[in-house]
Amino acid sequence: MITYRAPLEDIRFLLHRVFDYEGRVASLPGYEDASGEIVDAVLEEAERFAVNELLPLNASGDAEGCVFENGVVRTPEGFKEAYRAFSEAGWCGLSCDPDYGGQGLPHTLQFLINEMICSTNLSFGMYPGLSHGAYNALALHGSKTQKNHYLPQLVAGTWSGTMCLTEPHCGTDLGLIRTRAEPDGVGPDGETLYKITGTKIFISAGEHDLTDNIVHLVLAKLPDAPPGVRGISMFLVPKILVTDDGSLGERNAAVCGSIEQKMGIKASSTCVMNFDAARGTLVGAPHKGMRYMFTMMNEARLAVGLQGLGIAETAYQSAAAYAKERRQGRALKGAAEPDKAADPIIVHPDVRKNLLTMRALNEGTRALAVWTAINLDVSTRHPDAATRQECDDLISLLTPIIKAFMTDHGFTAANLGVQIFGGHGFIRETGMEQLVRDARITQLYEGAYGIQGLDLVGRKLPQHAGRLLRRFFHPVAAFIEANMAEPGMQDYMLPLAKAFAKLQQASVWIAQEGMRDPNQGAAAASNYLRLFALVILAYLWARMAEVALAVPEDQRDDFHKAKLATARFYMTYLLPEANSLFTTITAGAGPLMDPPAEWF
């Protein structure tokens, strides 16, 4: 009973009407061939693949899961064929460098296709998603030999990648890792070789049967490493060693010890990886591994945010379809369909509230994703350095918000979908309970909500004397000033202006109180992140309303009318949460930190 079609009309509205894709992205150097027409065609083809190839495998993949036998992981039936079709169609290298076989298309297009993949089969999407992260890390920090040997294979999808961070005794605090790397001679090309020894856990796609080789990017410490995160280096450790001519050689001592029995994403292999003097090479400079790994982690955080949106969209579409079909009770003002035994449950206000909450946050967070993706393209391709820096600053500010808020919404939306289905949502055959289980991990990996809040408050706000914060505050203030008196915009601008003022006040409070007592900023961090997210979405909804209002009233179709109605719902039903969040933020750390630990 899962229902999904890619929201192409909404996507086109954002690309071409709200964010000026042609002017901001298609005009960038290297993207001349990525016109809006080309992008639309690629999106339609991506929808066909996601709906026809990936969605049918979602429930069966969940039921079958991955199987671990004698050190080998077997993915569920149909996954190998789907992955082969995926890679042969070129989806693995969509936004990758043409020098390594990629298509060189914009990140914006990659973001939108990732949402479709996550909507239809989150487990499947983990495999190419991890590979893309490994590609980016090596493209930025790898040696010439590493790039030439590994990037073409990652782009083609014949090899896949992982990121190996977590160890049994440490997760977020990576300074505690024990995996070690010892020099072991010099390779033919002059690169120092290393033996990597240690155990990593929770390694997504660490072992599987989809590709010929797996490229592990492993964090480890050299013998002379300084303590903590300053002593972490990154190493490239292939599952199968690569010979001097780039062909596959003998099996490396990097093996899967077991796979986790998980709550969700069961068709994605989550592995314990044992490195027993496995051979590898250093990526970049010694002791710079955390900086390099953040290349993967920051991309992964954006990608995980899209996972939340993808699940939320499927939950909404499925729940909306069910609400229009399921008959229970009568509309309170009188039977909506008196010739039937009961009315469809969409007549009930509480069902509508749940559906509108899902829809408003889906469309708002999709706007946030597209806005971020366009800024990412500008930050990497624009000829002006100052413009690139401005966009990079904004992305840095938005990354923890996207990761935390969008995954929180994904889980909430999945649960609201189950609520609309009622008892049937609790039953496996409807597919709704799988969405809840799959969504839950997105709130945890790549840094849980609290970690993202600390990143926002502790790193992003004070960075460069508040420069990152100004990248958002200044354009929002200018937008409010320019549109407050515009006809028809008051319903959207006044709520935005009030919430924006609360965000500004909260930012000042955290800056002042955090300097006095670091617990003050930490205690406020999660609520501040949510407040920030709500204001961002209010700003984006006001921009979408502005575009919809520009269509003459007698020419507005249902799409534009629905946009304005959903914007009004967001401003009146969801944005007022900003007031309670501000009250909680300014309550300070006392209510949290005053009770002695022994009271718990």
* 16 contacts 37 by C-beta, under 8 angstroms: no
Given pLDDT bands bounded at 50, 70 and 90, which one contains residue 84?
A: very high
Average pLDDT of the chain, as a whole number:
96
Average pLDDT over residues 492-515: 97
CA 105 to CA 93: how far, in whole Å?
9
Domain 159-287 has what CATH class?
A: mainly beta
List of E strands, 406-540: none
Geometric angle at alpha carbon 40, from 35 and 44, rounded to 5°: 150
Give 290 or 401, the one with higher predicted confidence. 401
Query: For residue 265, is pLDDT > 90?
Result: yes
Residues 350 and 432: their CA atoms lie apart, in Å, by 19
pLDDT at 171: 82
Instruction: Tell me the mean pLDDT in the region 88-106.
Output: 97
Residue 167, pLDDT > 90, answer yes
Residue 317 is predicted with a pLDDT of 98
pLDDT at 188 over 80: no
Average pLDDT over residues 249-266: 97
Domain-by-domain residue ranges, the chain? 8-139, 159-287, 448-591
* Global pTM value: 0.97
User: Which one-letter DSSP state was computed for residue 536?
Assistant: H
Residue 296 has pLDDT above 80, yes or no: no
pLDDT tens, 445-475?
A: 999 999 999 999 999 999 999 999 999 999 9
Give the mean model confidence (pLDDT) for residues 72-77: 97
Query: Do the domains 8-139 and 159-287 sit in the same CATH topology, yes or no?
Result: no
Whether residue 361 contacts residue 312, with contact meaning beta carbons closer than 8 Å, is answered with yes
Q: DSSP letter at 25?
A: I
Q: Which listed CATH number (3.10.450.50, 1.10.10.10, 1.10.540.10, 2.40.37.10) goes with 8-139?
A: 1.10.540.10
Is 432 a residue whose pLDDT tops 90?
yes
* pLDDT of 577 over the 90 cut: yes
- Tell me phi and psi for residue 458, to 5 degrees: -85, -25
Instruction: Please determine, for residue 110, whether its predicted confidence score (pLDDT) is greater than 80.
Output: yes
Q: Which residues are catalytic?
A: 446
Q: How confident is the model at residue 314 (pLDDT cuts 50, 70, 90)?
A: very high
Report residue 295's pLDDT band, with 50, 70 and 90 as the boundaries. confident
Q: What is the pLDDT of residues 121-164, one digit of tens each?
A: 999 999 999 999 999 999 999 999 999 999 999 999 999 999 99
